[in-house]
Structure 1
């Protein structure tokens, strides 16, 4: 079964969509079957992979509304192991339409269940708001990865998001875990960045990812060309950092799977007795 990772932070401009695009692309480049779901009405993750606005194309809106099956919404990308469920501007109205629907918090979770056998990772790009689209994404997810800048004010927003994760865990998705917090647009030459990173390490402990994403011109340019950084400039620091982050995520996932498997075998054996 594929692992579902929501990329979330209600604060805008922290590199959330950049992380969604480039993490998904780097996972795919490691020959891991990956799906990126764009749940943000701005559709930046879609355009960042070369999918411009197209009102006739099926999107995550139809998926949430239940008017199209997941298999019909999939789009192939320039990377063989990466597929995309694009967004559309219709998602703007989804927050209102979802209010009256049955299982409104579980619409995305139910819709992608059939896809989890086909992908090792499913990455969801959430809107920069704690709305019904983000709630659907977090209820569908196994874990949440939080991109944040090394700034003092950034910690307040992340603390609020972690409180939301805890409430979702209590009410809708008890299995939801924090995948990690990843520092983005990081400039290791400044004392401020180093100081904040040190504080975050003491605050988050092992939940702070080892990989830091640097402030990088190539990383910023890539979306305007409809490409992830590893296709736009594979030797750039930005591309290399996301490849490193993908390796970190894969390693963590597979280590956990190896630990769970023997426990499940012991449990199954005891039940058969």
Structure 2
């Protein structure tokens, strides 16, 4: 049975009273966008799953969302059912500074959610960009063209701290760190926070940590519970109260090319991402 406070409020997995974040009010106008990079140099922690489902959840609450696939694997594009062959991608925008960013924007099957896709071509971008002037700010210049048309732009970063990720952090107003509830996932967070601090000092003074999101949580295992406890001890209120559980529904939804909020809207995982969207609005990370 879940623990409760003295006033019978249930205690959530992070050890804090479980809040019911309110449904956000509709927006009267759209833009300018707040740009959020979803970043973790460890792979398999739920960055792409979170990018897809958070984007869809924010769109469900009436926000205009642009998702940017910034991983050469193109999993975000595939997870939204968008084929990426023979169309302009984010790679083309990075290398051709005169190309209009609108050329690469694709409307998805989710109302209010657009995508700038990526494919394996992006893996060559770091080599091509290394000699460019102000190479860390190229993505920022691309997104500036369209930021006025969206409420939020989510950048799904690749699992590394290379030039592409630094571009994403330089373009972003905030960083959301998905963190698997597993011991080895903890080890790289300090390095990632250090990288964010360096970007803040040298390239982007306004960047903020929007929060750490615990993913793949399994309340049945002591290990999951202990890891989450240690994360909360280390990062306190930077840890979001919403926790994403482990479920086979995520890969099922990805194969279908739709967010889990459409694939299984009543499933606890879909409800968790809707709650995450409400929490980020309540925290002021999203309008």
Report if TM-score (shorter chain) is over 0.5. yes
Distance in structure 1 (CA, Å) of the matches to 2:119 and 2:255:
18
Q: Distance in 2 between matches of 1:63 and 1:234?
A: 34
Unpaired runs of 5+ residues, structure 2, are 1-31
| Cα deviation 1:52-92 (Å, max 9, x = unaligned) | 231x1011001111252111111101111100000021101
Count of aligned positions? 255
Deviation at 1:143, TM superposition (A): 0.8
Per-residue CA distance 1:182-228 (angstroms, 9 max, x = gap) = 01110012222112211111111110000000001112211111111
Query: How much does 1:114 deviate?
Result: 2.1
- 2:91 is matched with 61
Gaps of 5+ in 1: 258-273
Return the structure number with greater helix share. 1
Task: Give the whole-Å Cα distance in 2 for the aligned partners of 1:79 and 1:250.
Answer: 20
Q: Distance in 2 between matches of 1:144 and 1:20?
A: 12
Q: Does 1:13 align with 2:44?
A: yes
Q: Is the 8 A contact 1:216 1:237 kept in 2?
A: no
**Cα separation, 2, equivalents of 1:125 and 1:225:** 19
- 2:162: which partner in 1? 131
Stretches of 4+ aligned residues off by more than 6 angstroms = none
Which of 158, 183, 188 pairs up with 2:189? 158
Cα RMSD of the aligned pairs, angstroms, is: 1.3
Comparing 36-45 with 114-123, greater Cα deviation is found at 114-123
Does residue 92 of structure 1 match 2:126? no
1:243 aligns with 2:281: no
Question: TM (normalized to structure 1)?
Answer: 0.91
1:252-263 matches, cutoff 5 A: 252-253=283-284
Local SS of the residue matching 1:153:
helix
- What does the per-residue CA deviation read over 1:117-161, in whole Å, with 9 as the maximum and x for residues that have no partner? 111110000000111111111100001100111122211111110
The aligned residue for residue 63 of structure 2 is 32
SS at match of 1:123: strand
CA–CA separation in structure 1 for the residues paired with 2:132 and 2:87: 23
Comparing 194-203 with 31-40, which one deviates more in the overlay? 194-203
Which of 213, 231, 254 matches 2:262? 231
Question: In structure 2, the residue corresponding to 1:155 is in which secondary structure?
Answer: helix
Contact 1:219 1:239 in 2 (8 A): no
Match of residue 269 from structure 1 = none
Determine the structure 1 residue equivalent to 2:113: 82
